[in-house]
Amino acid sequence: MSGREQIVSQLVDAGLVAIVRVSRPELALPLAGALVAGGIRAVELTMSIPNALDAIRTVDRELGDDILLGVGTVTDDDTCRAAIDAGARYVISPITRPSLVAAAHALDRPVMLGAYTPTEAQAAHEAGSDFVKIFPADTLGPGYIKALLAPLPHLRIVPTGGVNLDTMEAFLAAGSAVLGVGSALLKKELVAGENWGELECLAKRFAAKLAELKAGPGQ
């Protein structure tokens, strides 16, 4: 199994990717640490973070194998390669940019291209994307994911937007491979107040809910 395939397997096993967007790069490490302590191992640092590459380097250096660190909001090949060099183990884009697949795969890293329509989702798959990020999923809902997978069951779907403690079950039941979680977990007031203890507690709730749903009824 290649390194890329191992990371794909790890992401599916993790089941949830926390999407981190912060206004100050120095918040990335304590925030990521709180998520990991709460049981959320897969964490995406977006390129919208000021000095994002430095933040990736710091988190990778300090948390190492405790975190499954990815980079998000990647829209060009140079950024893709630079983020991987900084320590990102997978690359996520909000758009269908096929060239990112070649750039990431050349470095043995998986990529998740963004899509909204069935045509975009299939195009991402045909380009070789390891996952297809459906974004923004909050306006579409779990029903859309289920409808999309009916004729296209080969897609490995990751809905982003609208995923929270109340909707996780429906998104997983619809056939999602992994869930992307943003503001429902990274609450503005917790991040602004640097309340890492409360964030860890919330992460534990998400991790427990996910484990319960994966275990299935009666487990």
The stretch 25-49 carries a mean pLDDT of: 98
The number of folded domains in the chain is 1
Q: β-strands 68-72, 131-134: how paired?
A: unpaired
Q: Residue 39 belongs to a domain with what CATH number?
A: 3.20.20.70
Evaluate whether residue 98 is within a structural domain.
yes
- Cα 138 to Cα 32, 85, 170, distances in angstroms: 24, 32, 13
At residue 50, the pLDDT reads 97
For residue 192, what are the domain limits? 3-210
Q: Considering the entire predicted model, what is its pTM? A: 0.96
At residue 1, the pLDDT reads 76
Q: β-strands 179-181, 111-115: how paired?
A: unpaired
Tell me: pLDDT of 108 over 80.
yes
At residue 216, the pLDDT reads 79
Tell me: pLDDT of 218 over 80.
no
Q: What percent of the chain has pLDDT over 70?
A: 99
With bands split at pLDDT 50, 70 and 90, how would you rate the model's confidence at 20?
very high
The stretch 200-213 carries a mean pLDDT of: 98
Evaluate whether residue 156 is within a structural domain.
yes
The stretch 94-121 carries a mean pLDDT of: 98
The stretch 10-26 carries a mean pLDDT of: 97
Evaluate whether residue 219 is within a structural domain.
no
Evaluate whether residue 217 is within a structural domain.
no
With bands split at pLDDT 50, 70 and 90, how would you rate the model's confidence at 186?
very high
Evaluate whether residue 185 is within a structural domain.
yes
pLDDT tens by residue, 140-162:
999 999 999 999 999 999 999 99
Evaluate whether residue 139 is within a structural domain.
yes
Q: Is 214 exposed, middle or buried (0-12, 13-18, 19+ CB in 10 A)?
A: exposed
Nearest to 178 by CA among 3, 64, 14: 14
> In whole numbers, what is the pLDDT of the chain averaged over residues?
97
At residue 192, the pLDDT reads 94
The full 3-state SS of 88-129, as one line of letters, equals CCCEECCCCCCHHHHHHHCCCCCEEEEECCHHHHHHHHHCCC
Q: What percent of the chain has pLDDT over 90?
A: 96
The full 3-state SS of 153-201, as one line of letters, equals CCCCEEEECCCCCCCHHHHHHCCCCCEEECCCCCCHHHHHCCCHHHHHH
Evaluate whether residue 216 is within a structural domain.
no
The stretch 172-199 carries a mean pLDDT of: 97
Distance in angstroms (rounded) separating the CA atoms of residues 73 and 44: 9
Q: Which amino acid is at 129?
A: S
With bands split at pLDDT 50, 70 and 90, how would you rate the model's confidence at 2?
confident
Evaluate whether residue 89 is within a structural domain.
yes
Tell me: pLDDT of 219 over 60.
no
Peptide bond into 136 cis (omega under 30): yes
